[in-house]
Structure 1
Amino acid sequence: MDTDNITASEPSRDDLVGRKVRTAYLVIYCVIIVVGMVGNGLVIYVTGFRMKRTVNSIWFLNLALADFLFTAFLIFYTISVYQDYYWPFGLFMCKLNSFVYQVNMFASVFLLMAISLDRCLCTCAVVWARNNRTVCKAQLVSVAIWLMAMVCGIPYATFRKLLERNRVTYCVYSGDITQKLIFVIFRSIMAFLIPFLVITASYVAIVVRTRRLQSARKQRSRRIIISVILAFFLCWFPFHVFRFLEFSKPQLVYIIVTGSPLAVSLAFLNSCLNPILYVFMCDEFQKKLKQSIFLVFESALAEDRDTSQKSDSAVPVQSSGTVTSRHN
């Protein structure tokens, strides 16, 4: 995630309101980190180790990996926000943190687009999908998505540097205004406009195709589709809007400085919603998750029973031995 202007402008907000707002965002970031890592960690465990390798499990595993790494590296940014945007981790982590944010943002969005297209093909081109939809091809597409995300993320890390102001170090963007505008336009097109159009068109096609399904299944499918589209739009649209406001409406500096962290928080929130929308609504995943949790508790209780049985069986022997020795 890019926080160029936020990082550069936040240190000047030392008033009481700014600190209260920053505290609220810190709480939000911490919640996102915990929920995102736990939710995506469960998805990685179930899809990577408990489920049979299928096309869907490949999509969900890679999506969960992207979101998990995203929320894991969010810890560094949260620490920086807590210290009034002071960056104590050095230049390498400054660039690496930006690179990981961007790569996982692009990878997550591209994977959401791939999932939508895959579902559309399975619904609208059943015969083609049955003959050409394989695990190997899904793995190749996933690798291509990660490579594309890395290529898209390299420029954002390249133009990061450490800026020292009043003996305090900040991780900021080092390019000029024209370069930054190019990056903003590129990211808005590649990470929002095109994916949003593809996701919306795919699910509209699914709705049109499945109009003849039974009412209960039809309504559930529509609810999921509407949730997916709204979640993607509401999480990412404010972020890109505020990036453009920084160039087109500089006179709205107070609104931008105050609202940008909220827009960033919504974008972060998308990494928590993905496992809920795309995986936990899947009946097969829910079944495997319940089985996995049941097996964990069953194993733990079995160990407790074995320990209890061993201790119980040892007591009579000891008692018998004691009585015998007394008798002798």
Structure 2
Amino acid sequence: MATNSVGQLTNSTQIVLSDIEIFNIFIYFVVFALGIVGNGLVIYVTGYKMKTTVNSIWFLNLAIADFIFILIIILYIVTAFNKVWLFGDFMCKFVSFVTVLNMFASIFLLTAISLDRCLSTWVIVWAQNKRTLVKARIICSLMWVLSSGCSIPFVLCRSGENNRCAYECSINILKSLFIYRFIVGFLIPFLIIASSYIAIGVRAKRLKRGKKLKPFRVIVSVILAFFICWFPFHVQQLSFIIANSNGWSDVENAFIKIGPFVNCLVHLNSCLNPILYVFMCEEFKKKLKQSLLLVLETAFAEEHLPFRTSRPSTCSRLSESQGLKQTNETTISSCGSSQDNNACF
């Protein structure tokens, strides 16, 4: 039977996983599989198949943040199986950086999207003139730089020595880090996002355009999913550090026990967005079906068969239809002001 001390584990020790640990590993596997496929498809569809708009740039960057985070889950799976950290100090710091980067990048991008939607609703003429692809890309780049800067303090306090990846700093510094992460990475963005959508609701009510809010359900669902998945994590982390600093050992142990569950929620958030897009966005669903059809036809194509030239392929039919559509296509405004309620991106 495995000992509770990771430092005493040897090659002859039989590692026994508890039910909670098995459940945790199962969730990691599910999230990894769904996240790689789902976010990979979102990156492919929004980056290569859909018309590039300001909204598609936002969602593309969200998918990239989740995809990067999903890649490191395999390290968590290996660690959960072995109950020790096997990847050294550098990878410990790197994994910590990517985890916190994903949180900051996601919430900052969601905040930018909310402000963008709010401005598009209240200042329509200004948004049509000033809301450009170049500015959206610049803002996304700034969000990534800002997120990286916010993540560095957590890397400095992390250590991967002695077969464990954990914080190695005083309790006061750790408390400051957790409070800083909650305020900057959760509370302030939440207030900005909530205020933005309250303003959007007020504007829609004044103009009696309730039906125009239908496209907003996708981004609202993404935001709600983020807060539902990350809020328990922040509560658990803050409660643990408060209990630890006050010597409440029973309370501290209780929050340690729920740690695996809140971590599962955090990881689950990284594979939820593609699922929400598929179920709630008709435009994304349509483009995804077209993309998969093209991929399958290319994979199964047999160019040497003579009957291939007797009728146009699905690829050529789609290319021709897209070419005709582009010749008559006019500039599409923001999702909130679009006449097509299914245009999520």
**Same-fold call, TM > 0.5?**
yes
- The question of 1:238 aligning with 2:236 is answered no
User: Which residue of the other structure, out of 217, 221, 233, is the alignment partner of 1:227?
Assistant: 221
8 Å CA contact retained: 1:63, 1:108: yes
Within-5 A mapping of 1:51-130: 51-84=50-83, 86-130=84-128
8 Å CA contact retained: 1:111, 1:145: yes
8 Å CA contact retained: 1:10, 1:257: no
Within-5 A mapping of 1:1-328: 19-84=18-83, 86-164=84-162, 169-211=163-205, 212-213=208-209, 218=213, 220=214, 224=218, 227-249=221-243, 250=248, 251-277=250-276, 281-301=280-300, 303-304=301-302, 306-309=303-306
Query: Normalised by the size of structure 1, how large is the TM-score?
Result: 0.81
8 Å CA contact retained: 2:204, 2:210: no
Secondary structure (helix, strand or coil) at the match of 1:210 reads helix
| Shift of residue 50, structure 1, vs aligned partner | 1.5
Question: Which sections of structure 2, spanning at least 5 residues, go unmatched?
Answer: 10-14, 308-345
8 Å CA contact retained: 2:240, 2:256: no
Q: Give, in whole Å, the separation in 1 of the partners of 2:109 and 2:75.
A: 25
Residue 225 to residue 62, structure 1, CA distance change in 2 (3 Å) = closer
Q: What's the CA shift string for 1:152-205, capped at 9, x where partnerless? A: 1111111211342xxxx1111111101101110110011111111122222222
Residue 213 to residue 29, structure 1, CA distance change in 2 (3 Å) = same
Q: What's the CA shift string for 1:114-150, capped at 9, x where partnerless? A: 1111112112221111111111111110110000111
| Shift of residue 308, structure 1, vs aligned partner | 4.7
Amino acid at match of 2:241: F
Higher helix share: 1
| Shift of residue 81, structure 1, vs aligned partner | 1.4
Q: Give, in whole Å, the separation in 2 of the partners of 1:233 and 1:19.
A: 29
Q: Give, in whole Å, the separation in 2 of the partners of 1:118 and 1:253.
A: 41
Question: Which sections of structure 1, spanning at least 5 residues, go unmatched?
Answer: 1-8, 311-328
Secondary structure (helix, strand or coil) at the match of 1:87 reads coil
Structure 1 residue ranges (4+ consecutive) displaced by more than 4 angstroms after TM superposition: 9-12, 220-226, 307-310
Q: What's the CA shift string for 1:257-300, capped at 9, x where partnerless? A: 22111111111111112234467634432332222112222333
Q: Which residue of 2 aligns with 1:314?
A: none
Residue 130 to residue 280, structure 1, CA distance change in 2 (3 Å) = farther
Q: Give, in whole Å, the separation in 2 of the partners of 1:283 and 1:140.
A: 28
Aligned residues: 291
8 Å CA contact retained: 1:196, 1:232: no
| Shift of residue 78, structure 1, vs aligned partner | 2.0
User: Which one has the largest radius of gyration?
Assistant: 1
Q: Give, in whole Å, the separation in 1 of the partners of 2:277 and 2:187.
A: 20
Amino acid at match of 1:92: F
Amino acid at match of 2:135: K
Residue 160 to residue 108, structure 1, CA distance change in 2 (3 Å) = same
Residue 66 to residue 228, structure 1, CA distance change in 2 (3 Å) = closer
Residue 214 to residue 115, structure 1, CA distance change in 2 (3 Å) = closer
Residue 223 to residue 138, structure 1, CA distance change in 2 (3 Å) = closer
Q: CA RMSD in A?
A: 2.6
| Shift of residue 63, structure 1, vs aligned partner | 0.7
